[in-house]
Chain A
């Protein structure tokens, strides 16, 4: 056994009343690639931020080469050789690669920046890492994959011997991912240590030596990658959830039981045929039926968000067809989609609501042309809005209040209400319950179920398996822009969703 480079023992961290990490152990050996997996909120990122010096107030102890340490800042951690590459790249897009690498420590000559020396040194460093990237290009001109590589190179350049990679592959295409793995192999050969945090279990199994599994802020397992299967990882990540998820499973299987036996086949409403948007998704063929809730599960960056937007005409596609009732339809803009009876609830409420405007105006806006004559009075509009406010249960039920004054859950109800003034044919929901408390979630789910009863074809796009398990009749799974599975009935389980994503 090699002596660990770094050990963390009994680490606990709370945010207000929420326990993010509960007495967790973790160790890192010199020269290994260590995978860290767990569901959203399992505490992976919190742990790594403690390691990288972002959080310095925690319980427990950290030892670096046997010496007790407590990093006071990221700079402090970096000075001791630990650097982190964040999921959201934080590079300066308008500056060159070299400028990004040097940051504030640019080489100076006679009071001026010594560009020649800077570019030369940066290029030398790049080449030493086996990277063929021109350091005089601006960061923004590089593909995301290369930006990621530069970011890693930058962290190494500023002295990191151990590098923490937070979801490095989530935004990368398959060839870019390959390139990253090759780069990681180079770094490993140079004796560097890496922590690899990822949702993509295949990636984790491919590049790591050992894997640590977190669940609900606790350490549940440490495994040697060679002896581990994907199935085993998923079990460990969600294990024990079977009990808490039981009601959700039951409600969803009940829905299947209703739908399945001998019922007449429901008509396809919205179908896609080889729909492709370069850099986002490709070859998507699917059929959404009347009166069903079709789940679309993927991890962040799986291309599902763009697919949802394309189905509402909010973004152009590159090839493939969208058909409504079997007829090809050109969704050139959102107005076309709305006219065709497609409704869309985007993942970000700020891009769905005019927060400073009144509730009633936000509700009537989508179908204004059908609700009021060209010259209108607000009284008629108010009546329609009040009906919807009651329908979806907006609280407080005051149509003149501006939407920004409502809680998140109630704002989301307004977004739904906007599309219910005319019963939609197709309803595309992107993350409809994310970040909501349990009560509001239940209410939104109830509304969506009611719409299914009315025959609306509903596409539920989400990164939360629970949302799919609780209401979807069947589900597609997307990974890196492609559909990897269709699950229904007993095969629709959290495990299956996560394994295929």
Chain B
């Protein structure tokens, strides 16, 4: 639907315009999905358009935005990282334990956590590109390493010693009266998305990522060190997962070795909902942002609807599936010759 609309408004068949529409088609289908969802929930619930609720939607997807930025890099290379949720938990635990039990300054704990997360990401990159394991398998193993380390460090206990900087970033507000205060975590999420966007859209590195994901052999035969590009993306993904995990501890006020199990599926579905291809080379942070909004609106709206709590999950699953089917269909239309 959005497809035809777009083609109608830019009908003249000269090159750049056609190319523009073709690029946009990937963005327009998710946008249509978002509009439909917003209109639907706006009409069926009383509180959806409340300022506080809209702000809540953003807050609910803020940490997801951070980890999704990383997964976007990896998916653009046509790889996957299954370890993100486990790395998130491990990182939160490391930062909090170092700060609490070991007694280092908060920022040292945070740096150490970020370092550990990046190191695991680099390990993923190394096993994927140098050893040649499929990333699906390599990250399955590192998922267990990360998750196991988190359990080993905490011995299964909950850690309440969160560095102040994380409490600020994850759990405090800018401004103080209710409708007009903004959670800092939203700002953090937006900043990470923006950085990711700039890197992907305006740097040579970003271009190499797209070209590598689009056709790895052709990129290699153009003199690109595709192994390094893919490995760098896996490292970035690890770092993002770590940042998300630490923000999350700040938001919750505690760190633990379990409880983030939904993060992996949530972030992959958000990124794919936004129109980024699982097969590499197509999509980007703009798409991811759109996917996050769809995801947030859907979750929030279903809560507002006051559905039977045992119904919510499968209804959400069905809607996600429908949205993904529409996306794929729109991309097929796009892939057909547009002459």
Chain A residues packing against B (C-beta within 8 Å): 312, 314, 333-335, 337-339, 344, 346, 350-358, 361, 365-366, 368-369, 372, 374-377, 396, 398-402, 405, 418
Contact = CB atoms under 8 A, between A and B. Distances in A.
A368 B281 contact: no
B16 A365 contact: no
23 contacts: A314-B220, A333-B227, A335-B223, A335-B224, A338-B222, A338-B223, A350-B218, A351-B215, A353-B218, A354-B211, A354-B214, A354-B218, A354-B219, A357-B210, A361-B211, A365-B207, A365-B219, A366-B223, A374-B205, A396-B15, A399-B15, A400-B18, A418-B222
A338 B225 CA distance: 10
B26 to A, nearest CB: 11
Contacts of B202: 375-377
A273 B165 CA distance: 62
Nearest to B20: A400
Contacts of B208: 368
A375 B219 CA distance: 20
B175 to A, nearest CB: 33
A402 to B, nearest CB: 7
Contacts of A314: 220-221
Q: Is the interface of B mostly helix, strand, loop or mixed?
A: helix
B22 interface: yes
Given A335-B223, A368-B204, 11 more contacts: A333-B225, A338-B222, A346-B221, A351-B221, A352-B222, A354-B214, A354-B219, A365-B207, A365-B222, A398-B16, A405-B339
A357 B282 CA distance: 9
A121 B320 CA distance: 54
A366 B208 CA distance: 10
A401 B281 CA distance: 16
B19 A401 contact: yes
A352 B221 contact: yes
B259 interface: no
B174 to A, nearest CB: 29
B326 to A, nearest CB: 21
Q: Is the interface of A mostly helix, strand, loop or mixed?
A: loop
A418 B15 CA distance: 20
A376 B221 contact: no
A374 B205 CA distance: 8
A360 B208 CA distance: 14
Contacts of B218: 350-354
A232 to B, nearest CB: 42
Contacts of B225: 333-335
Contacts of A358: 19
B221 A368 contact: no
Contacts of A400: 15-16, 18-20
Contacts of B22: 402
Given A372-B204, A398-B16, A355 B224 contact: no
B303 interface: no
A339 B223 CA distance: 8
Q: Most chain-A CB neighbours within 10 Å: which of B15, B214, B222, B224?
A: B222
Interface of B: 15-16, 18-20, 22, 202-205, 207-208, 210-211, 214-215, 217-225, 227, 281-282, 337, 339
Nearest to B337: A405
A241 to B, nearest CB: 34
A337 B205 CA distance: 19
A312 B281 CA distance: 25
A290 B220 CA distance: 26
Contacts of B220: 314, 334
A46 B212 CA distance: 40
A354 B213 CA distance: 9
B54 to A, nearest CB: 34
A143 to B, nearest CB: 23
B221 A361 contact: no
Q: Which 4 A-B pairs have the closest CB atoms?
A: A338-B223, A398-B15, A400-B19, A354-B214
Nearest to B277: A356
A338 B219 CA distance: 12
Given A338-B223, A351-B218, A400-B16, A374 B337 contact: no
Contacts of B210: 357, 361
Q: Most chain-A CB neighbours within 10 Å: which of B22, B207, B218, B281?
A: B218
B200 to A, nearest CB: 12
Nearest to A355: B215
B217 A351 contact: yes
Given A333-B225, A334-B220, A366-B223, A357 B211 contact: yes
Nearest to B17: A400
A432 to B, nearest CB: 14
A301 B205 CA distance: 37
A34 B204 CA distance: 59
Contacts of A377: 202
Contacts of B282: 356
B198 to A, nearest CB: 8
B203 A357 contact: no
Given A355-B215, A358-B19, A401-B15, A334 B204 contact: no
A110 B26 CA distance: 55
Nearest to B22: A402
Contacts of B219: 354, 365
Contact of B221 (A344, A355, A374, A375): A344
A354 B223 contact: no
Contacts of A352: 218, 221-222
B214 A356 contact: yes
Contacts of A337: 223
Given A314-B221, A376-B202, A361 B215 contact: no
Nearest to A419: B222
Nearest to B202: A375
A402 B214 contact: no
Nearest to B220: A334
Contacts of A396: 15
A354 to B, nearest CB: 4
B292 to A, nearest CB: 25
A356 B210 CA distance: 11
Contacts of B221: 312, 314, 334, 344, 346, 351-352
A353 B219 CA distance: 8
Nearest to A364: B207
Nearest to A381: B207
B130 to A, nearest CB: 12
A405 B15 CA distance: 11
A420 B203 CA distance: 22
Contacts of B281: 354, 356-357
A314 B225 CA distance: 11
Contacts of A401: 15, 18-19
A369 B204 contact: yes
A357 B280 CA distance: 12
A390 to B, nearest CB: 15
A398 B20 CA distance: 12
A374 B225 CA distance: 16
Nearest to B16: A400
Contacts of B203: 374-376
A418 B282 CA distance: 21
Contacts of A339: 223
B247 to A, nearest CB: 27
Contacts of A376: 202-204
A197 to B, nearest CB: 31
Contact of A334 (B20, B211, B215, B224): B224
Contacts of B205: 374
Given A353-B215, A354-B211, A334 B223 contact: yes
B325 to A, nearest CB: 21
